[in-house]
Amino acid sequence: MSDAPPLHSFDAVVVGAGAAGLFCAAQAGQRGLKVLLLDHADKIAEKIRISGGGRCNFTNRELDPRAPHKHFLGENANFCRSALARYTPADFLALVGKHGIPFHEKHKGQLFGDRSADDFIRMLLAECAGGGVTHWQPCRVASVANEDGGYLLQTSRGAVRTRALVIATGGLSIPKIGATDFGYRIAQQFGLRIAPLRPALVPLTFDGAAWAPFAGLAGLALPVRIETGDKKQRMAFDEDLLFTHRGLSGPAVLQISSYWRESTPIRIDLAPGVDIAQALLQAKGRSRKLIANELAAWVPSRLADAWVQQDPAWQRPVAEASDKALLQLAERLSRWELVPTGSEGYRKAEVTAGGVDTRELSSQTMEAKQRPGLYFIGEVVDVTGWLGGYNFQWAWASGHACAQALASLEKPLGLPAGPVAL
């Protein structure tokens, strides 16, 4: 009798038990495939657990699959059109309703669970159980190789042979909860191109000395209009801004960070919808208040106080200020231009932009065009959504598209259902 470890066989192996991997495994299992889901992390779906402030912003009602470029970026933003059209926010909402999970809309179509992100993790695990999915976690993959028309994985729980291998390992974001470059290494091993990687949906930072006048505003939030890019490629968002000790965060900055490039400026209107110049000039003729006190009608008083410290001409009653000084102040407030020195990096990035080049994949199936049986789904692909549930919907949609493709595969390996000796 051989002492060799057992060889396990499955119709499909999904590596990565996050949003895309859990959903794909469940969908494939419910379509009759024998599926193995594995992940190296000790805890399951930590990124789901911490998302949306712990409540999971699981999709967005405003997503338009006919125009994915409105809410997604990548070298080919239209790549995700097919998958998003075939599995929509309404489809996922039906699943949420089936499991009785209460939810609410926050704003701009963003849907959150009423209780906890754990509701969604339990839902996905229940769906996997409904599909008879085998789940190994923690389980590390030491190597992956082509073999006899399929793939052979050497794992910490034994060798695994499969007809189809699905990489759903996410990006580099938030390494403290288990993010690695495994998915990119597998893509490169099999000759697939990788679009340049960078942190996205991430706070921006500034030089310490230059930021010193604003560091004391840490914790202050206000609605702004923020933009970056030139006239041809300008991107703008109306969202809340948050000051931090090292720079800027909040939804406005997380959104713009996906479009910002190093050494380029961002521009911020700190009082959107207000004609500050006209308001200050009118105040000059009727008010004896300090300029900072007048500004406090349109921006938070802490910001107004910090702002006027930048120029002695602004540290006086509005009635004593020159028109030129007031107009310069208004211009700075309505078009604050500054160049970030960097970002908080993958440590605080919600997602990783870039990834497996979409030219390498079928938009219908997520399968590598030159590597039959090898699939990539979710964040590891060069598809990045806006803040607000779009990345989760891409996880559900790409996982669903992949599962549909897996269900149509023939099963030529002919291996026994259980483990056999090598």
**Distance between CA 412 and CA 9 in Å, rounded?**
12
pLDDT for the residue numbered 4: 63
**What φ, ψ does residue 162 adopt, rounded to 5°?**
-150, 150
Under DSSP, the state recorded for 272 is T
Global pTM value:
0.93
Pairing of strands 342-343, 204-205: antiparallel
Quote the pLDDT of residue 1. Answer: 47
Closest by CA to 251, choosing from 352, 347, 387, is 387
CATH node for 204-343: 2.40.30.10
Predicted confidence (pLDDT) at residue 422 exceeds the cutoff of 50: no
The rounded Cα 170 to chain-centroid distance in angstroms is: 10
**In the chain, where the domains are located:** 6-199+351-421, 204-343
* Averaged pLDDT for residues 324-330: 97
Determine the Cα–Cα distance for residues 401 and 83; give it in Å rounded to an integer: 6
Q: Is the dihedral of CA 308, 314, 318, 323 positive or negative?
A: negative
| More confidently predicted of 208 and 406 | 406
What's the distance, CA 10 to chain centroid?
31
Averaged over 33-49, what is the pLDDT? 97
Q: Which ranges of 263-363 would DSSP assign to H, the alpha helix?
A: 276-284, 291-295, 301-308, 323-334
Report the greatest alpha carbon distance in the chain.
99
Segment 296-324 mean pLDDT: 95
CB-based burial label for 323 (10 Å; 0-12, 13-18, 19+): exposed
Q: Do domains 6-199+351-421 and 204-343 have the same CATH topology?
A: no
412 DSSP 8-state letter: T
How open is the CA angle 333-335-336, to the nearest 5 degrees?
Answer: 70
pLDDT at 3 (0 to 100)? 60
Q: Which of these, 204, 29, 59, 209, lies nearest to 128 by C-alpha position?
A: 29
The per-residue pLDDT for range 155-194, each reduced to its tens digit, is 999 999 999 999 999 999 999 999 999 999 999 999 999 9
Q: pLDDT band at 421, cuts 50/70/90?
A: very low
CATH of domain 6-199+351-421: 3.50.50.60
Residue 243 makes CB contacts below 8 A (sequence gap 6+) with 214, 217, 218, 219, 220, 221, 249
Is 308:315 a contact under the CB 8 Å cutoff? yes
Task: Give mean pLDDT, residues 141-145.
Answer: 97
Q: How far apart are CA 168 and CA 153, in angstroms?
A: 15
Q: How confident is the model over 323-350, as a mean pLDDT?
A: 96
Average pLDDT over residues 383-408: 98
Q: Which helix (H) or strand (E) holds 225?
A: strand 221-228
Residue 416 has pLDDT above 70, yes or no: no
196 and 382 Cβ atoms separated by less than 8 Å:
no
Long-range contacts of 103-108 (CB under 8 A, 24+ apart): 103/58, 105/61, 106/57, 108/60, 108/62, 108/388
